[in-house]
Amino acid sequence: MDLLRAHCLPQRLAGHCGGASPFPFPEMAQDSVGLSSDYQFWMQKVSTWDQASTVETQQDTCLHLPRFQEFLRQMYEALKEMDSNTVIERFPTIGQLLAKTCRNPFILAYDESQKILIWCLCCLINKEPQNSGDSKLNSWTRGLLCHVLSAFRFDIREVGLFTQGLGYAPADYYPGLLKNMVLSLVSELRENHLNGFNTQRRMTPERVRALSRVCVPLITLPDFEPLVEALLTCHGCEPQEVLWPEFFDAVSEAFLLKKISLPTSAVVCLWLRHLPSLEKAMLHLFEKLISSERNFLRIERFVRDSSLPEAACHPAIFRIVDETFRYALLETDGAPEILATIQVFTRCFLEALEKENKQLKFALRTYFPYASPSLVTALLQHPKDIPQGLWHQSLQHISEMLREIVEDQTHGSYGGPSDCWFAFIHFGGWADVAAEQLLRSEADPPEAVLWLLAFSYSPRDGSQQRAQTMEEVKAVLGRLLKLLRSPGFSARDVQAAAGQSREEAPRPLECGPLIRRLLLNFLLWAPGAHAIAQEVITLMAPTREITHEITGFLDQTLYRWDHLCTTAPASRKLASELLTELRGQV
């Protein structure tokens, strides 16, 4: 939660602002003065690290790898504009810097550092050597370049000669060797995991830790995926965490930026063993949601992309994700983006849960401990699994259960109103169905459904307030239904039905979100409302926020109809048209 707060997420969500700021990234000075001082800093660092043969130098190197790469990139940008002599004038010790860098295998093993280093070396080459000094420099640079590329001291000399005899070039040899080394380490780790103490080649915890440390620069190398996976999923018998914390950070970062792909089991292990990774994953999701327009399809794509639904089949992860959502909801006062995300997430989660083939299936109450199992079971039923004629029954049932919990003074064994409301909004489909049903049936609105609607919009109302709301809604419904039966009606008529008196001068419609929703449903379903729909909406939406709300509603409705396979071509067409129109305005 602190992580969310630190990124001012609640305020940004509430403000609907576009253009999120990227993940905090240490900005390096762009001007040349800045580069010079950075140069000094890095020169010193690289000298200290040398070949990174001790634990301390390794740790320090790995911590600085991304920033150092950025520095190298900036150096290259600066160097490529100069000729060789200028380079030496400007950075007299650059030879030293580059040479020391070449000696550090951790730097060369990281991401694109070796490539950028080679480019920098290319800049040192003097195209027109004037004197022996120039030629010597060229020769030296040439040697260093070859060193980076091939004649490494890392070459295992005698084996090199042997493989040459077999017709095996280094270009073939090293990839194969790497693969075999990784395989060997993976099998050692798995043995560790399965046999615990009963294996001769058991990996000591220190060795596992050291391995996780040296892997940090190599996480994005595809050959290493099996090893990263093994490190995450295989634990020995130690009670405390063995892996190096920066390893988790690096894996988490690489995973979020899609530089590595991990199976769900490995991601679950990552998030369970290292809570900040899970927090970062949620933060990443929220950032994406803020910076893009609210659109259910897009939200679904982001959620699926995040691997959160699959991982959440593990109750511990689900609880943390759920609590994070609840926190975000509270802090943003029920922001519609968060509500939408929760709904999409829950649906994806349920799909993933169904696909899970584990023998150990957790009971529902492990995921929703704050709601009674019967309530959750009722909510879980998707409207599309129930014949439309029986929807009112389900609505009744749900409403009664909720009402019982809410009006029960003793709060029973489960949470109070806020808890059961939170459970309810996970399964948003029912509230939408309720509103739609009220307008599509000619009969008197059942009280249970009215209650449900009122509750879903204002969970914290007292019983008197709620009763008032229900009355209001009933009145509006009555008037709207009367309109339906009349031969024709105008936008003003609709306005009047919503509760504004006719005599006053035409002014924007003021009503709460609940009434607005009823009106919108009315416009979509009432035959003859098509013509005046646009006009009514214009009356309803004087502010940008309300327009936003209406587009959200239309988008959600279309999305819901797609999933329910609702065939209502006229309504659908109208909804799409209105949506396009409104989006064009913004």
Closer CB to another protein, residue 155 or residue 562?
A: 155
Contacts of residue 300, Cβ cutoff 8 Å, sequence gap at least 6: 344, 348
User: Candidates 171-179, 440-448, 451-459, 482-490 — which segment interacts with another protein by CB under 8 A?
Assistant: 171-179
Contacts of residue 39, Cβ cutoff 8 Å, sequence gap at least 6: 75, 91, 97
Q: With the C-alpha atoms ordered 182, 185, 187, 190, is the resulting torsion angle positive or negative?
A: negative
Q: What amino acid occupies position 195?
A: N
Closer CB to another protein, residue 163 or residue 396?
A: 163
- Binding-residue pattern over the window 121 to 140 for another protein, x denoting contact by CB under 8 A: -x--x-x-x-----x--x--
Among 162, 330, 463, 563, binds another protein (CB under 8 A): 162
Q: Interface with another protein includes 258 (CB under 8 A)?
A: no
Closer CB to another protein, residue 181 or residue 386?
A: 181
Q: Interface with another protein includes 210 (CB under 8 A)?
A: yes
Q: Interface with another protein includes 460 (CB under 8 A)?
A: no
Contacts of residue 147, Cβ cutoff 8 Å, sequence gap at least 6: 102, 153
- Chain residues 54-83 in contact with another protein, contact rule CB under 8 A: 58, 76, 80
How far apart are CB 263 and another protein at their closest, in Å? Answer: 22
* HEC string for 48-68: HHCCCCCHHHHHHHHHHHHHH
Of 14, 272, 271, the closest CA to residue 4 belongs to 14
User: Candidates 15-23, 160-168, 278-286, 418-426 — which segment interacts with another protein by CB under 8 A?
Assistant: 160-168
d(CA 566, CA 241): 51
d(CA 415, CA 243): 38
Among 189, 211, 371, 532, binds another protein (CB under 8 A): 211
Among 21, 37, 133, 142, binds another protein (CB under 8 A): 142
Closer CB to another protein, residue 222 or residue 527?
A: 222
Residue 35, token pair as written in the block: 């580069």
d(CA 284, CA 7): 11
Closer CB to another protein, residue 206 or residue 504?
A: 206
Closer CB to another protein, residue 155 or residue 305?
A: 155
What separation in angstroms does the CA of 264 have from each of 194, 227, 397? Answer: 20, 15, 37
Residue 430, token pair as written in the block: 């029912």
Among 15, 34, 133, 176, binds another protein (CB under 8 A): 176
Q: What amino acid occupies position 337?
A: E
Residue 416, token pair as written in the block: 């109070």
Among 81, 158, 503, 504, binds another protein (CB under 8 A): 158
d(CA 477, CA 525): 13
User: Candidates 206-214, 299-307, 344-352, 418-426 — which segment interacts with another protein by CB under 8 A?
Assistant: 206-214
Q: Interface with another protein includes 146 (CB under 8 A)?
A: yes
List residues binding another protein (CB under 8 A). Answer: 53, 58, 76, 80, 105-106, 108-109, 112, 114-115, 118-119, 122, 125, 127, 129, 135, 138, 142, 145-146, 148-152, 154-156, 158-159, 161-178, 180-185, 187, 201, 207, 210-211, 213-215, 217-218, 221, 223-224
